Amino acid sequence: MNANLKAIIISENEIFTFFSSLQIPQISYASTSVELSDKSRFGFFSRVVPPDNFQAQVMVDIIKLFNWTYVSTVAEEGDYGEKGIEAFRTLAYKEGICISESAKISRNSKAEDFTQIVEQLMSKPNARAIVLFVDEDNCRKLLTAVFRLQKMGHFLWLGSDSWGRKLYPVRGQEETALGAITILPKRNSLKGKIAT
């Protein structure tokens, strides 16, 4: 790759801000950022999935249901991971849930970075429940590092909707994810024919 080329990263919020300024309506099937709920900024934006603070609340509710009081978190770099964990952290604090370790996966993380994250999580052996706000690729890489270190069965995974029902993160390393709880928004099937 040419060293003079630089990647331009535009967040979905910037895209939606641009289209809102032009009063162009947008409907998203995957944008879960809490910021997009601000109708003063995103008046022409609508979505068909709930914002991340909803699933953060569900994660807190699950942790309370199991009487876990000491957890760790892993977030991917960017709005989805960082804002999702921020929402979780705020809600967890209100419920008296302690966060032991907070790891972040950088955009260009390598296998050794995932190994370091697993070792960081292992440094607090009493915090076995791990809250994940990571995409499916990073989830797979994290589980692969756990497998590589032979730590299957140690962690209790609580994964966000980006893991949900997807098989890719666990394919070939199912033992590493055994017992995981993942979040998935409620879905309803439409019956009949939709007019076009």
pLDDT in tens, 128-156: 999 999 999 999 999 999 999 999 999 99
- Beta-bridged to residue 28, according to DSSP, are 47
Does residue 123 sit in helix, strand or coil? coil
Per domain, the residue ranges of the chain are 12-47, 52-182
Is this structure's pTM higher than 0.75? yes
Q: Distance (Å, rounded) from C-alpha 28 to C-alpha 46?
A: 6
Long-range Cβ contact pairs of 115-119 (< 8 A, separation 24 or more)? 115/145, 115/148, 115/149, 117/74, 117/142, 117/145, 118/142, 118/145, 118/146, 118/149, 118/151, 119/149
Tens of pLDDT along 81-132?
Answer: 999 999 999 999 999 999 999 999 999 999 999 999 999 999 998 999 999 9
- Say if domain 52-182 classifies as CATH 1.10.10.10: no
Does the pLDDT value for residue 66 go beyond 50? yes
The pLDDT of residue 12 is above 70? no
